[in-house]
A and B are shown apart, each in its own frame.
Chain A
Amino acid sequence: MPPALFLIALLALSRAAAAPAGGVRADIRVGFDGYVVPDVWIPLAVRLESDRAVTATLEVMTTRTRPPGTERVRLSVHLVPGTPYPVTIPIVVHDVHAPLTVRLVTGDRVLGQWRVVVPPTRLVDAVVVAVSRRPVGLQQLLGEESRVRAAYLAEEDLPARWELYEGVAAVVLRDLDERRLVPAQGRALADYVATGGRLYLAAPPPADILSHHVLRPLLAAAPAPVPSGAERLHPWGRGGLVVMPTDPFRSDLSSDAAAVWARTLAEVRGPGLVDRTLLELLPRALRLSVWVQALIVLTLGLYLLSLRWLARLLQSGHLGVVVALVIFTSFTLLTAGLNTVARRGTAGLIQATVAQGLINQEIALVESAGRVIVPRGGAFRLESGAGGLIRATAAADTVLTLSAVVRFEGRADGSLPVRAAALLPLPIRGTYRETPEGVEVNIRNRTGRLLRGGFVVLGGRVQALPPVGAEAHLRLTPLDWREAPAPDAARGPADRLLAWAIGRLRGDAILSATVSLVAWLDDDRGVLRWAGLPAAPLLLVFPLSPAEAP
Chain B
Amino acid sequence: MRLNPVTRGDLRARTASPKIVWVVRLYVAVLGLLAVFTLPAEGPLPGLADRELTQLLLLFTLGWIAYLTSALAVGEIGVEGEKALLDLAVTSFSPETIAAGKVLTSAIFAAVLVLAAAPLVALVVPLDPARVGAVVRALSVMIVVAVPLGAVGTWLTVAVPSDLVRTLVHWSLFLGLFAATRWLAAPLALVNPLRLVAAAYQGAPGIWPVAMAPYLLVTAGGVVLIARSVRRVREAAL
Binding site for B on A (CB under 8 A): 284-288, 293, 296-297, 299-300, 303-304, 307-308, 311-312, 314-315, 325, 328, 331-336, 338-340, 342-343, 346, 375-378, 413-415
Among A299, A303, A308, A332, which residue has its beta carbon within 8 angstroms of that of B21?
A: A308
**Residue of chain B at shortest CB distance from A334:** B119
For the complex, what is the distance from the CA of A179 to the CA of B18, rounded to whole Å? 91
**Bound-state Cα–Cα, A325 to B36, Å:** 24
Is A377 a contact partner of B39 (Cβ separation < 8 A)?
A: no
Tell me, yes or no, whether B147 is within 8 Å of chain A by CB.
no
Digitize B27-70: 1 where CB-to-A-CB distance is under 8 Å, 0 elsewhere.
01100100110011111100001110100000000000000000
Contact B122 A335 (CB under 8 A): yes
In the complex, A378 Cα to B112 Cα: how many Å? 32
Q: Is the CB of A311 within 8 A of B15?
A: yes
> Which residues of chain A are near B44, meaning CB under 8 Å?
375-376, 414
Interface string of B93-135 (1 = CB under 8 A from A): 0000000000000000000100110111011111100000000
In the assembled complex, B16 has its CB within 8 A of some CB on chain A: yes
Q: Which one of A284, A287, A296 contacts B123 once the chains associate, using CB atoms below 8 Å? A: A296
A296 to B24, CA, bound (A): 19
Residue of B nearest to A324 (CB): B115
B25, CB-defined interface residue at 8 Å: yes
* Residues in chain B near residue A333, CB distance under 8 A: 122
B127 pairs with A303, CB closer than 8 A: no
Contact status of A339 and B125, CB under 8 A, knowing A296-B39, A315-B12:
yes
Residue among A287, A314, A415 with most chain B CB within 10 A: A314
What is the CB-to-nearest-CB distance from A307 to chain B, in angstroms, rounded to a whole number?
5
8 Å CB contact of B119 from A312, A315, A331, A343 = A331
For residue B11, CB closer than 8 A to chain A, the reply is yes
Please indicate the chain B residues that have their CB under 8 angstroms from the CB of A376 in the complex.
40, 44, 50, 53, 126
Contact at B15–A377, with CB atoms within 8 Å? no
Contacts of A284 in B (CB 8 A): 43
Q: List 15 A-B contacts (CB under 8 A).
A: A285-B41, A285-B43, A287-B42, A288-B40, A293-B41, A296-B123, A300-B120, A303-B32, A307-B21, A315-B16, A328-B119, A331-B119, A338-B123, A339-B126, A376-B53
| Interface pair B127/A297, CB less than 8 Å apart | no
The chain A residue with its CB closest to the CB of B124 is A339
Question: Which of B49, B119, B125 has the largest count of A CB atoms less than 10 A from its CB?
Answer: B119
A286 to B42 alpha-carbon distance, docked (Å): 7
Bound: A377/B53 CA distance, A: 11
Which residues on the A side are within 8 Å of B118 (C-beta)?
A: 328, 331-332
Count of A-B contacts judged by CB separation below 8 Å: 103
Q: Is the interface of B mostly helix, strand, loop or mixed?
A: helix
Contacts of B123 in A (CB 8 A): 296, 335-336, 338-339
**Chain A residues with CB below 8 A from B120, complex form:** 300, 335
The residue in chain B whose Cβ has the minimal distance to the Cβ of A285 is B43
Interface contacts beyond A304-B32, A376-B40: sample of 15 additional A-B pairs, CB < 8 Å, sorted by A: A285-B41, A297-B36, A300-B120, A303-B28, A303-B119, A307-B25, A311-B16, A328-B116, A332-B119, A332-B122, A334-B119, A336-B123, A343-B40, A343-B126, A376-B50
List A contacts of B32 (CB < 8 A). 300, 303-304
Give the contacting residue for B39; candidates A293, A303, A304; CB below 8 A. A293
How far, in angstroms, from A131 to B27 measured CA to CA in the complex? 74
Question: Is the pair A315, B15 in contact by a Cβ cutoff of 8 Å?
Answer: yes
Pairwise interchain contact B39-A342, C-beta atoms closer than 8 A: yes
Chain A positions within 8 Å of B28 at CB level: 303-304, 307
A307 contacts B15, C-beta separation under 8 Å: no
Which B residues contact A (CB, under 8 angstroms)? Answer: 11-12, 15-16, 18, 20-21, 24-25, 28-29, 32, 35-36, 39-44, 49-51, 53, 112, 115-116, 118-120, 122-127
CA distance A312 to B122 in the complex (A): 24
User: Contact at B49–A346, with CB atoms within 8 Å?
Assistant: no
Identity of the chain A residue whose Cβ is nearest the Cβ of B50 in the assembled complex: A376
B122 touches A339 (CB 8 A): yes
Q: Which residues of B contact A336 (CB under 8 A)?
A: 122-123, 127
- Give complex CA distance A343, B125 in Å: 10
Please report the C-alpha to C-alpha distance between residue A307 and residue B116 in the assembled complex, in whole angstroms.
Answer: 9
Q: Name the 8 nearest CB pairs between A and B, nearest first.
A: A375-B40, A285-B43, A376-B50, A336-B122, A346-B40, A288-B41, A331-B119, A377-B50
Closest Cβ–Cβ distance, residue B119 to chain A (whole Å): 4
Query: Known contacts A308-B21, A376-B40: does B53 contact A339 (CB below 8 Å)?
Result: no
Known contacts A297-B36, A308-B21, A315-B16, A414 near B49 by CB under 8 Å? yes
Task: Give Cα distance in the complex from A414 to B41, angstroms.
Answer: 13
Contacts of A343 in B (CB 8 A): 40, 126
- Within the assembled complex, what's the spacing in Å between the Cα atoms of A340 and B41? 13
Do B15 and A378 touch (CB < 8 A)?
no
Docked CA distance A451–B71 (Å): 69
Q: How far, in angstroms, from A221 to B115 measured CA to CA in the complex?
A: 76
Docked Cα-Cα span, A335 to B49, in Å, equals 20
> Does A340 lie within 8 Å of B127, measured CB to CB?
yes
Roughly how many angstroms separate A189 CA and B29 CA in the complex, as a whole number? 64
Residues of A within 8 A of B25 (CB): 304, 307
- Quick one: given A376-B126, A377-B49, A377-B50, are A296 and B40 in contact (CB under 8 Å)? no
- In the bound complex, residues from chain B placing their C-beta under 8 Å from that of A346 are 40-41
The answer to whether A342 and B40 have CB atoms under 8 Å apart is yes
Q: How far apart are B19's CB and chain A's nearest CB, in angstroms?
A: 11
Q: Which residue of B lies closest to A320 (CB)?
A: B15
Q: Which of A285, A299, A334, A413 contacts B49 (CB 8 A)?
A: A413
Residues of B within 8 A of A314 (CB): 11, 15, 112
Q: How far is the CA of A343 from the CA of B54 in the complex (A)?
A: 14
On chain B, the residues within 8 Å of A287 by CB distance are 41-42
A214→B108 CA distance, assembly (Å)? 82
Please, which residue of chain A has its CB at the minimum distance from the CB of B49? A413
Give the residue name and chain of the B residue nearest to A305 (CB).
Answer: B25
Distance to closest chain A CB from B159 (angstroms)? 31
Complex-state Cα separation, A181 to B122, whole angstroms? 60
Whether the pair B40, A285 counts as a contact (CB closer than 8 A) is yes
- With a cutoff of 8 Å between Cβ atoms, the chain B residues found around residue A285 in the complex are 40-43
- CB proximity of A417 to chain B, nearest CB, Å: 14
CA distance A325 to B114 in the complex (A): 12
